[in-house]
Structure 1
Amino acid sequence: MVDTRASDCRTIGHFYGVNGKKLQRQYRDYLSDFKGWKQKEHAKQWLIFPENIGPYLSIDETALSKGELYTIITNKKAKGKKGSIVAIFSGTKVEPIMEQLMKMPAKKRATVKEITLDMANSMKTIAKKCFPKAIQVTDRFHVQKLAQEALQDIRIKHRWDAIDLENEQIKRAKEKNRAFVPNEFSNGDTRKQLLARSRYLLYKSPNNWTQNQSERSKILFAQYPDIKVAFDLVQGLRNIFNTATSIQIAYTKLAHWYKDVENTGFRAFNTIANTISLNYRSILNYFINRSTNASAESFNAKIKAFRAQFRGVKNVESFLYRLTTIFA
């Protein structure tokens, strides 16, 4: 049996005057059941727990160590506790993952009603082939994140222009042996500062702005109308997900939003609109149960916290053993 207190053997060793590394090895090799773990042989490639399959699953990818990606399928009903992990696979390649998932009884896989995922084609293929009766739901936050990135991209381009302008003004001032004093807006920001400090307010809804952020936004939008247009597009997309009560209403609103994007001529937003158009079926499925991949993201956070306790992942099999013993 694995005790989470054993995860920080260095701390325990410090209290009892024992070498932490040696204590960790002793725990792994003799005190725990790691050596007799049945799945140890293939743990680095795949781990499957068919008994944890439920009607509502999430599939996502996370990095365990050194940026190496793992694909993880979790059961939403377990709520990040025992029974959460359905499967863990090294990498994101479709064929090896499908090969192992297809070994599970078809009857068991057919019990899955819904699976939430991002817009990666690999995830969609895995879900379609291995869980054929499950409705695929594209996570709304991945869609909104794309729109936010497009908005921030416009802000960043203006910021680079502002930096170039200020550098040129400093250069000219030096040539004339004058001290450079940048112009400031009514809130005390220079142009460069305005664009840098507006980053976080653009992530928020206007009703969540502080007084300073509200003042800064007025200056920003007056100076850069294109940022205001892009911000309104982001808010419009968010409002569709927040207010639409059915697939039909959401479809109509998305069509109007698509036209608004076309009218702006923003290349990045046109790319997002086309991405939504290609994935509209799974995006609209959100409005059936309003399901998201938040549970998968939350579980990823648990893995990161677990990994931090170990101060990194030096022995992948040992880490996966402890992880699955607690969460599978």
Structure 2
Amino acid sequence: MDVVSDAISAVRLGHPWSHRMRSGGDWRTRVDPFQGAGFYVVLKGGCLLRTDSGDRIPLDAGDAVLLPHGAGHAIEDARTDTEVLSGRYWLDCSRMHPLMTELPEVVHLPHRVGRHLELRAAIDLLSGELDRIKPGSCVALPNLLDLLLVYLVRSWMDEATCGTWPGALGDPVTAAALRAVHTDPAAPWTNDRLAAEAGVSRATLARRFTALVGRPPMAYLTWWRLIVAAGLLRDTSGTLATIAGRVGYGSPYAFSHAFEREFGTTPGRYRVRAAERTAERGPATPRVPRSTGPDR
């Protein structure tokens, strides 16, 4: 496993939603703040994105935008015939990995020839699936949308000139330790064992890891184990003993104590509340819409 994949998987809920908008002339669509991430890809023409915080971002054909924190916004156009691919990912914001929280309110990826080739390929495939319903679309669409989210985050990391996590994953020592923890969080890791995985001394690992990640290696390990456990409580019916073992705790008691300290509630109550949140949202089914114009 790798940190980017795990950071996304830890918060993603159900199936994403998407549709394709075609419109001409003067139009405007308003989106209130929501618990998730949204995206836009301008396929033709151009439009303007206005966030509730006051940003005004002109978008041209080929531009991609990710709103990773569900910021309220409006998108509008008064110039041309416009075609926009848009969508939304439902996220559990109670378990956000710091890589995800570090993303800015708006990630704007202008179209550049020869850059972000994987992202462009995913956009082309997704656009083709939305042109019309095809055999297998209900499987293809959610998987292509998941792929699009990965490529949007990856492209931001490639473009970022500052920030904790692009630097942490670009540092070979810190990246090696993170990869070990994410590959097998239940392993009996110690500072010495992680240092050996990274090929450096314990002191060097502690200094570089803490400076780049913001917490010592063992503190990060404990936190990540509990984030994994929260996902297992939400998505599986495993017993506390089973989940405790899968994340490296020797007993349900030790696991429950650590979980309550991190989340402020017991594992059992967390599981019940997660089920209630899922029920409130209704069944998670992919949407395969026809192309429509935006609401005026």
Q: What TM-score do the two structures reach when normalised by structure 1?
A: 0.27
Which has the larger share of strand?
2
Between structure 1 and structure 2, the one with the greater Rg is: 1
Which has the larger share of helix?
1
Q: What TM-score do the two structures reach when normalised by structure 2?
A: 0.29
